[in-house]
Amino acid sequence: MKSIRGKMLVWFGMSLLILLTASGVVVYREVDDAVTPLTKHLSQEVLIARSAEIGRLLEGYVNEVTIMSRRDLIRRGDMEEIESDLMAQADLINSDYEILFYADRDGNYVTTQGKRGDVRNRDYYKAIMLGEHSYYISEPVVSYSTGARMLVVARAVYDDRGEKTGIMAATVLLKTLSEIAGAIEIGEQGFGYIVDRTGLLIAYPEDELVMTMNYLESEEWGYQGLEEIGERMLDGMPGLMTYENPNGEKLVTVFNPIPGTPSWTLGISLYEDELMGPAMNLMRQVVLLMSGILGIVLLVVFIISKRITTPILALKEGVRIVSAGNLEHVLEIRTGDEIEELADDFSKMKTDLMDYIENLKKTTAEKERIQSELEVANKIQTSMLPRIFPPYPNMANLDLYATMEPAKEVGGDFYDFFLIDDHRLCFSIGDVSGKGIPAALFMVITRTILKNLVLQGNSMPDIFFKTNNLLCSDNEENMFVTVFMGILDTRTGELEYISAGHNPPLVSREGRDFEFLKVNHYLVLGGMEDYRYDSLTTVLKPRDRLFVYTDGVSEATNGQNELLGDGRMVAAANRLVNRDVRGIIAGMREEIDRFVLDTPASDDVTMLALMLLEAEA
């Protein structure tokens, strides 16, 4: 809303809404602070009681196995005698046990069911016979002899010399733990569960999940949030957290480590709707009440604001008519207050605006004329540079690409390339001092002189000597240009080149990193008459890459006035070393854009890359 009436409605409405919302939040938190701690407290009390029950139960198992391990018959270690004794007790053992068994120091065991086997790879055997434990409660396992899900309570058997001679153990069926967890009742739908130290569910109301689902992999079963709960359990931490079952129902779970166990955790889960139902019902009633109060207040504010805003709306309509272009419109507002003063000031501003518009029309027309001329100059400058790529389709062993982006409408950078004969390519790149139209004109003169002297058959030192003298002549503005020129024999790869104050090119040989090409550091063209230049030569092999550029690349500047610099430029080129010439230039352009971001370009950016390819058979 943009009207004052709308703002008043928003201000009063938002203030009241914030006040009512804050009241609702306070009420909700009061209820939540009462319900949640109470539920947590009750759940913790249940957990403590059940944990103690499980602890006592396991302690009883350990005591029973300890008594059996101290019998003389067991201590003698005669497997045949022990087997007969165990089988005789098969019908007398604790109903929580699946079997009793004895294992000698080599891991060979006999059971109350007369079965034999080897338990050397079981954790309880390793902990007692190979470790320092005198007794051990194992993680839940699947029985070798019966295939049942159970845990093992094992006790070391000692001979008269106090040395370990074997293990006496009982396998406790996991259904015993499930019965204890299942007996937990909280709310109408709450249930208990037990998780071992690996996150595996070992006691749960739904039997198909026992020894199958791991909390750390619960997302695969359609649960959301259980993995985080499992990680907290594995850290041995108690807590109250929420998760979502495969049906999309949210549950609250309270969990606590079970003392005297191998880092097991006992937990209770309760559906969130059941836990937070009273608080949510109260909150809905509060929301309905707040909505009614808010509607009444907004209606009152609307009526009052209409009386206040009528003269303001009249002023707004007058402003709209004037802003639409009718500067002759007269505002008639007589309220005797600040609004009338505002209308009078607006009328004066309207008169001043009419005078300003007349002057602006003249200035704008002149700027448009100059801008149009600059656009034409840009098109002319661009059309003078080679723009067809690949430039020589019949020359299959040459790959060449170049771009020039002026910082203003027209720039002082240039590049050029042309064939001297059927196998020699001349290419050049230059950067004129200054910007704009003067630099563009000086660039055209330089490029034209260089090309003409090359086509006339002059040597490279003479080309630069003569060009320099021609540019120095009548150069009242003291303009100059840096130039790198090379003549490449595409058959042999021999490259003759001269750099007149220009940035040294980068060359990559045989796929290795780019490095600066060795150049003689000569004076710029147009700097001093009768200055002499000498050329250097090198050889480019197939797949070698040459990258030539102006200082708009290496001196690209970001918002912190940092330069891209030679280091970043070379590093960027090395990331592009396996690309073709078009890819090298495109990649370097992307690197510049990432570095400068939204900072306007301060210099022209010109790049040329070439590569000799393997000659076709």
Q: What is the pLDDT of residues 280-302, one digit of tens each?
A: 666 677 777 777 887 787 777 76
- For residue 531, what is the DSSP state? -
The CA distance from 168 to 335, in Å, is: 105
The H or E element containing residue 19 is helix 4-69
Q: Which residues contact 210 (CB under 8 A, 6 or more apart)?
A: 149, 174, 178, 201, 202, 203, 204
Per DSSP, the three-state class of 402 is strand
pLDDT greater than 50 at residue 438: yes
Task: Provide the greatest CA pair distance for the chain.
Answer: 124
> Tell me: the pLDDT tens digits for 126-164?
999 998 899 998 888 777 667 778 889 999 999 989 899
> Tell me: the pLDDT tens digits for 14-31?
777 787 777 766 666 666
Q: What percent of the chain has pLDDT over 90?
A: 41
pLDDT greater than 70 at residue 35: no
Determine if the pTM surpasses 0.75: no
Cβ count near 18 (within 10 Å): 10
The region that residue 530 occupies, defined by phi over 0 for left and psi between -120 and 50 for alpha, beta otherwise, is left
φ, ψ (nearest 5 deg) of residue 518: -65, 125
What number does CATH give the domain 385-612?
Answer: 3.60.40.10
pLDDT band, very low/low/confident/very high, at 98 (cuts 50, 70, 90): confident
Which is higher by pLDDT, 311 or 414?
414
> Tell me: the pLDDT tens digits for 218-245?
898 899 999 999 999 888 888 888 999 9
pLDDT greater than 50 at residue 617: no
For 53, counting Cβ atoms within 10 Å of its Cβ (0-12 exposed, 13-18 middle, 19+ buried), the class is middle
Query: Domains of the chain: which residue ranges?
Result: 385-612
The CA distance from 258 to 156, in Å, is: 24
Mean pLDDT of 263-271: 86
The CA distance from 363 to 353, in Å, is: 15
pLDDT band, very low/low/confident/very high, at 355 (cuts 50, 70, 90): confident
pLDDT band, very low/low/confident/very high, at 358 (cuts 50, 70, 90): confident
The CA distance from 319 to 324, in Å, is: 8
pLDDT greater than 80 at residue 93: yes
Confirm if 416 and 475 have CB atoms less than 8 A apart. no
Predicted pLDDT at 278: 60
Write the single-letter amino acid at 555. E
Tell me the average pLDDT of the chain: 84
User: Which tokens in the block code for residue 603?
Assistant: 């210099």
